[in-house]
Structure formats: structure tokens, C-alpha cells
Amino acid sequence: MKRSVLRIVDANANRALEGLRVGEDIVRFHLEDARAFRRLRTLRHAVARTVTRLPVGTVELVRSRDSGRDPGRRAPASRIASLERLLLINLQRTKESLRALEECARLVAPSQTPEFQRLRFRTYEVERDLLIKVSALRHH
């Protein structure tokens, strides 16, 4: 398998899991929404399980990593106005990463492509519910 495909899988698996973890912390400590927290945690665990089921070992993924020479590592950080906005940005990051994993699965494990697609659609649902909740909080 090409190293570049492994790098894409590794980067997007990390990005998806990180985005969900940030979301978990925001709904847990800021929104104090136990149900949303459990949904995000369950989704994060499902993503991690699905990645580990790929026919690529963790060591192989880590070996493909080259963070020091990654041209995207110095992307400028922008200021974010609120925790609610940070939540939505991280859910978007998760959706995009799941789409990249879905597409790469076509190359490394075509039978797992539908599972990444299901996870992406679950993320859409969680995002919708949280967006509605955040919007309702702003209007009270």
C-alpha cells in the first residue's frame, strides 16, 4: 500500500477523533448536556473501532507519519468567537475527515466504505441536534 494513502488515513483518523473529543468536552463542560456528551463519545469510539478494523496496523499508520515535514502543519490559527462556534468547527472537521476516510477505504478496504459513510451521517445528525440546541440557547 502506498505510504501516501496511509498518511491520509492516519491524519484523518486523528483529525476525526480529535474533533469529536473537542466536541465532547464542550458539550460536557460548557453545555452540560449529558446526552449529547454520550452521543459524541459513542461516535468517537465507533470511529476508533472502524479505523482499527482497517487491514492496516497502527504501527504501519504511525510509520507513515511525517509530521515534521508536513506542509500543512504551519497553517495559521484563527481566532474563534465562542465555544459554540468551536464546537461547530470541530464537527465540520470530523465530517470532512470521515469523508476522506470513506474515500480512502475504497482503496484499502472497500467493504468498510459503508461503515465510514454511516459514521459521517451519524455526525450530521449529532451536528443538527447540537446546532438546534445552541440556537435555542442563544434565543433565550
Which uninterrupted H or E stretch holds 109? Answer: none
Handedness of CA 5, 7, 11, 16 (dihedral sign): positive
Closest CA relative to residue 5, chosen from 113, 101, 88: 101
pLDDT for the residue 36: 96
pLDDT value at position 58? 81
Q: Cβ–Cβ contacts within 10 Å for residue 97, how many?
A: 25
Domain ranges of the chain: 3-61+80-138
Q: Nearest to residue 87, comparing CAs of 42, 139, 45, 132?
A: 132
CB atoms within 10 A of CB 15: 18
Alpha helices for the chain (secondary structure H): 3-29, 34-52, 58-64, 83-108, 113-138
Distance CA 138, CA 117 (A): 32
- Reported pTM: 0.88
Q: Residues 33-85: pLDDT tens digits?
A: 999 999 999 999 999 999 999 998 887 887 777 766 666 667 777 888 899 99
Question: Mind listing the pLDDT tens digit for each residue in 122-134?
Answer: 999 999 999 998 8
The C-alpha angle with vertex 99 and arms to 24 and 21, in degrees rounded to 5, equals: 15
